Amino acid sequence: MSASRLTLLVFAFAASVHAELSLDVPVIELKPKPEDEEVETTFRFRNKGDKTVKVLGIESACTCLSATLDKAEYKPGEVGTGTATFKVSSFVGRYDKFVTVNTDDSKQPTWQVNFVLEVPEVVNIKPKNLQWWIGDEAKSKACLVQFVGAEPMKIVKITPTRENVEFDWKEIKEGREYLITVKPKTTEDVTMGALKIETNSSIAKYRYQLAFFTITRKPEPQPEAASAATKP
C-alpha cells in the first residue's frame, strides 16, 4: 500500500472517530415545591461516540442554575452522572434554562444540557401596577390578590411607601381572594410607590408581597398617529 493511500485511510479513520455526549431524556425537568429555596436533581448521560471525551468546563446561562459532572473523562459507551442545582428565589412559572459543557472534541466542542423549570404560583396580584396620568381624576382603582397555593393565606397589614394615596382592602373569598382599593389624594405630581402587603403565610418568602402604583405624564402622540387621526 502506498504511503499516500495509507495517509488517506488514517485521515478517514480519524475523521470518523468522535465523542458524543447525550442525555437519556430530551430535557431535564425541575419542579420545586412552593417552600423550596433551591432544588437539586441528578441526570444521566452517555458518551455515544467511539472516542474518549474530556470535559474542560461547564458554563451556565443563568446564575440561578449550576451543574457539575461526576468526573472529567468519559470513554466510548460510558454512562455519566450530573447534578444540577436551581435557586428558586422569586421565580414563578415555566422557564427554559441550560448549561453548556465544553469538551476537547472538535466535532462537539460544546454540549448544551437543557432544563425546564416549573415553579408553582402561590400569590397572584392583578394588575400588579395601578396607573394614573397626571391631571386625571383622582378616582379609585383596584387590584385583586389571589392566594392560589395549597394553603390559604390572610392579609394582615398593608403599608404604603408614599403618603399620596388612600387605600383599603376587603376579603372576597376567605383565605383566597382580597380586593385592594387605592385612591390618590392628587394626580398633580409624578409619583411612584408600592403597597407592602403582609400575609400570615407559613412560608417566609410569601409573607411580604408588593403591588405598585404610579402617576406619570401621558406620552405625547407621535406625529404619524396625530395626522392619521385627523384624516376623514
DSSP assignment string, 87-115: E-TT--EEEEEEEEEEES-TT-SEEEEEE
CA 51 vs CA 57, 68, 140: distances in Å: 18, 21, 69
User: What is the residue-averaged pLDDT of the chain?
Assistant: 88
The confidence band for 68, taking pLDDT boundaries of 50, 70 and 90, is very high
Question: If you average pLDDT over residues 217-222, what whole number do you get?
Answer: 85
> pLDDT tens for residues 206-216?
999 999 999 99
Q: pLDDT value at position 136?
A: 94
Q: Would the pLDDT of 9 be above 60?
A: no
Q: Would the pLDDT of 172 be above 90?
A: yes
Q: Would the pLDDT of 164 be above 70?
A: yes
Say whether domain 123-216 belongs to CATH 2.60.40.10: yes
Q: pLDDT value at position 11?
A: 39
Label the pairing between strands 129-133 and 165-173: unpaired
**How far apart are alpha carbons 41 and 31 in whole angstroms?**
10
Say whether domain 19-119 belongs to CATH 2.60.40.10: yes
> pLDDT tens for residues 148-161?
998 999 999 999 99
Question: If you average pLDDT over residues 55-71, what whole number do you get?
Answer: 95
Task: Considering the chain, tell me which residue range(s) the CATH 2.60.40.10 domain(s) occupy.
Answer: 19-119, 123-216
**How far apart are alpha carbons 43 and 52 in whole angstroms?**
20
> pLDDT tens for residues 75-133?
999 999 999 999 998 788 899 999 999 999 988 999 999 999 999 889 999 999 999 99
Q: Would the pLDDT of 7 be above 50?
A: no
